[in-house]
């Protein structure tokens, strides 16, 4: 292996993102969610945002593109292997890429890593393909489907470091009472402690996206509350936030068709007045969970 920063055989972590994009021979197409990271400093920092105790033995990357982040993740995997020196199973990286031309390029560019058993490239849609048994995921997500991908990953309860549009990231991390707080905040925080670890300007990408971006770290943990039926809890939260300007009382009454409650009035009768007179955006996740349990008990929910 040479250490040329532009050659296909460069050491992992050394590849120049612009040279990778040139070698791929395909133009990144924003209509296909292709905004490639070209800022080396951001690329170098991303793997380090995984929580300290992360099992990084099988990393997953979604949307490999021309491989700038793939290269950094391979460097990480190779470093872990050098450190454990055979005393632990070899590290592995799986990359999912929907675009056949870029999937082919990744296979060519990183053929040595594939031959060494360090990498596999899964060509397909991240929303449909079977996910490999990954231990953590690091990705600069395609923004058109970032919500769907995030909610495919979060229930796996593995550490995630994901790039999103900044506005989406702010909604993920928001707390009760903040204007960005909503269904996305409660649902994401149900699975993990969620935090923005870096804001990334448009200039870090080529082609540049229309909006600023942010990197979010999701560290899996159990929530502070218990719910007997997770699917109902998430449906109930979704239902109430469709009426975020109404009182909780009216939101419960108006959304039985979404929450699946046959008897929302019975829930209103059983709930505390001070809770009912508030707006959904002021209830923290624990209050939502308590209300959802009350709704399950009194509101005759039907299966979704």
Instruction: Give binding residues for S-adenosyl-L-methionine as ranges.
Output: 35, 37, 63, 97, 125, 140
Strands 92-97 and 36-37: unpaired
CB of residue 255 to ligand SAM, shortest distance in Å: 30
Within a 10 A sphere around the Cβ of 203, how many other Cβ atoms? 9
CB of residue 94 to ligand SAM, shortest distance in Å: 12
Q: Which residue is nearest to ligand SAM (CB)?
A: 63
In the numeric block, the tokens 């996910």 are attached to 131
Residue (95 or 251) nearer to ligand SAM, CB: 95
Residue (144 or 228) nearer to ligand SAM, CB: 144
Residue (33 or 293) nearer to ligand SAM, CB: 33
CB of residue 21 to ligand SAM, shortest distance in Å: 8
- Which residues make up the interface to ligand SAM (CB under 6 A)? 32-37, 62-65, 68-69, 96-99, 102, 125-127, 140, 142, 145
What are the tokens at 16? 């120049």
CB of residue 200 to ligand SAM, shortest distance in Å: 11
CB of residue 142 to ligand SAM, shortest distance in Å: 3
Residue from 21, 42, 50, 49 nearest 213 by CA: 42
Residue from 150, 161, 166 nearest 46 by CA: 161
CB of residue 132 to ligand SAM, shortest distance in Å: 14
- Binding-site sequence positions: 35, 37, 63, 97, 125, 140
Residue (95 or 240) nearer to ligand SAM, CB: 95
In the numeric block, the tokens 């972590």 are attached to 13
Q: In Å, what is the CA distance from 153 to each residue of 141, 149, 181? A: 12, 6, 21
Residue from 294, 230, 304 nearest 268 by CA: 294
Residue (81 or 97) nearer to ligand SAM, CB: 97
Residue (59 or 239) nearer to ligand SAM, CB: 59
């Amino acid at each position: 292996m040479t250490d040329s920063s532009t050659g296909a055989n460069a050491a992992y972590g050394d590849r120049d993102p612009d040279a990778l994009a040139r070698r791929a021979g395909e133009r990144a197409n924003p209509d296909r969610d292709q905004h490639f990271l070209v800022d080396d400093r951001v690329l170098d920092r991303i793997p380090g945002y995984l929580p300290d105790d992360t099992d990084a033995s099988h990393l997953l990357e979604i949307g490999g593109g021309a491989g700038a982040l793939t290269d950094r993740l391979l460097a990480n995997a190779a470093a872990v292997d050098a450190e454990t020196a055979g005393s632990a199973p070899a590290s592995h990286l799986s990359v999912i890429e929907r675009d056949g031309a870029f999937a082919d390029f990744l296979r060519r560019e990183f053929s040595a890593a594939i031959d060494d058993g360090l990498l596999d490239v899964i060509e397909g849609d991240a929303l449909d393909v079977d996910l490999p048994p990954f231990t953590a995921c690091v990705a600069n997500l395609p923004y058109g489907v970032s919500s769907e991908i995030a909610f495919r990953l979060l229930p796996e309860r593995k550490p995630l470091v994901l790039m999103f549009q900044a506005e989406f990231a702010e909604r993920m991390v928001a707390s009760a009472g903040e204007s960005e707080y909503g269904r996305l905040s409660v649902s994401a925080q149900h699975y993990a402690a969620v935090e923005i670890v870096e804001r990334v300007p448009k200039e870090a990408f080529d082609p540049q996206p229309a909006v600023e971006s942010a990197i979010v770290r999701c560290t899996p943990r159990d929530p502070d509350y218990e719910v007997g039926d997770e699917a109902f809890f998430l449906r109930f939260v979704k239902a109430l936030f469709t009426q975020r300007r109404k009182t909780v009382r009216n939101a419960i009454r108006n959304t039985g068709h979404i929450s699946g409650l046959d008897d929302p009035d019975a829930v209103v009768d059983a709930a505390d007045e001070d809770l009912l007179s508030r707006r959904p955006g002021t209830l923290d996740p624990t209050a939502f969970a308590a209300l959802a349990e009350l709704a399950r008990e009194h509101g005759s929910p039907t299966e979704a």
